[in-house]
Amino acid sequence: MGRAQLGRAHMSRVAATLVAMAVLTVGSVGGLRGLLPALPPAPGLARAAPPVGKPLPASKAPAPGMLGRLEAARCETDRVLRLTHPPMAGEDVWELNVRLKQLGYLNVPKPGNVFDFATDQALRRFQRDHGLKPDGAVRESIWRALAGPEEPRPTAALPPPKPPLHLVIDVDRRILTLYSQGRPYRSYPVAIGKERTPSPIGEWRVVHKDSNWGGGFGTRWLGLDVPWGIYGIHGTNKPWSIGTAASGGCFRMFNTNVEELWAWVPLGTPVTVTGRRIPVEYPRTLRQGDIGQDVAYLQLYLREAGFPVPRADGRFGAGTAASVRELQRFYGLPVTGQASWDVLGILGMY
């Protein structure tokens, strides 16, 4: 018997005891819900309704036909950076400052995301030292120069892996592993999303492939079917970022590595992304038709609690609603098929 089955069997016994207590002391099974918060075996049950605050915004789906497509991605930018008034700011400036500090040109305690005078002077010193025009502008050629010899040499060639294939990305370890016929075949380091732009946890599929886009997307793109944005596995012109939390949510790879993976992985390949789940501070009531990272979390927690869903794909469909109803019946809650704070609390989602 699996852990989830053992947990459900134990909770069944606890629930049966509480029903009897509720009938004796309150006179109706409705008293069960009043007794559930005192249950020690399920910490989530002790949670009260979340405080009133700013609600979690509903996620928006990509435009029709653009799911997983590179041309709709916004996680990388290729604008020309330079000193302006007001100064330019953004994640690309932050990555520039990080690299200039790594190379010893920017002497600041912590790199920021503003292109200020210190950035300009550091960049010009770098350009002069590398025989480049010291104009203080960052174009694709400067990103390549900043990368230097960071791109690793191609690894020893392996024969194409035998299907079925499956990709598993461990966000915490920042490792992508290709599985062939259920066994690890090759692993690669990746860069993941920053804390403010996290990578999507859940179960996805490769739905789009593209190549030689260049710039921040490198030489290859594998688009995923994440429903609330454009996310993918791609190369990079910032190889020093591999192994760090640096992207806008996508998974960056060395170009040599992503080229090998791209050649092997067909459309439809499943991609499982695992890692720490960020608690939802102000949970919304989740219902059929919703999409988002919180929906994918709900699906994963339901499965772990013994209420399986077909796939943790961030889409609240009929299968997820059926699992929510089963949980509600199990705990004596109103059977609505909607995951409000009581369901989320039982699952420990906030």
Domains in the chain, start-ordered, CATH in brackets? Answer: 1-44 (no CATH), 70-75+155-274 (2.40.440.10), 91-138 (no CATH)
Out of 10, 85, 166, 234, pick the active-site residue: 234
Backbone torsions φ then ψ of 5, nearest 5 degrees: -70, -40
pLDDT at 154 over 80: no
Residues forming beta bridges with residue 204, ordered by sequence position:
271
Classify burial at 82, counting beta carbons within 10 Å of its beta carbon; exposed 0-12, middle 13-18, buried 19 or more. middle
User: What is the pLDDT confidence band of residue 184, given thresholds at 50, 70 and 90?
Assistant: very high
Average pLDDT over residues 178-200: 96
Residue 76, both tokens: 């990388």
Active site annotation includes 234: yes
Active site annotation includes 166: no
Residue 293: closest CA among 223, 205, 230, 202: 202
Looking at residue 188, the DSSP 8-state letter turns out to be E
pLDDT at 137 over 90: yes
Backbone torsions φ then ψ of 341, nearest 5 degrees: -60, -30
Asked if residues 328 and 336 have their Cβ atoms less than 8 Å apart, the reply is: yes
Residues forming beta bridges with residue 214, ordered by sequence position:
none
Classify burial at 289, counting beta carbons within 10 Å of its beta carbon; exposed 0-12, middle 13-18, buried 19 or more. exposed
Q: List, for residues 64-115, the tens digit of each pLDDT value.
A: 666 667 666 656 667 999 999 999 999 999 999 999 999 999 999 999 999 9
pLDDT at 52 over 90: no
Residue 170, both tokens: 């461990």
pTM of the prediction? 0.80
- 140-144, Cβ contacts within 8 angstroms, sequence gap of 24 or more: 140/78, 140/214, 140/215, 140/237, 143/215, 143/216, 143/237, 143/238, 144/237
Residues forming beta bridges with residue 170, ordered by sequence position:
175, 274
**Which pLDDT score is estimated for 150?**
73
Edge-to-edge strands of the sheet including 220-224? 183-189, 175-180, 165-170, 270-274, 202-211, 220-224, 232-234, 251-252
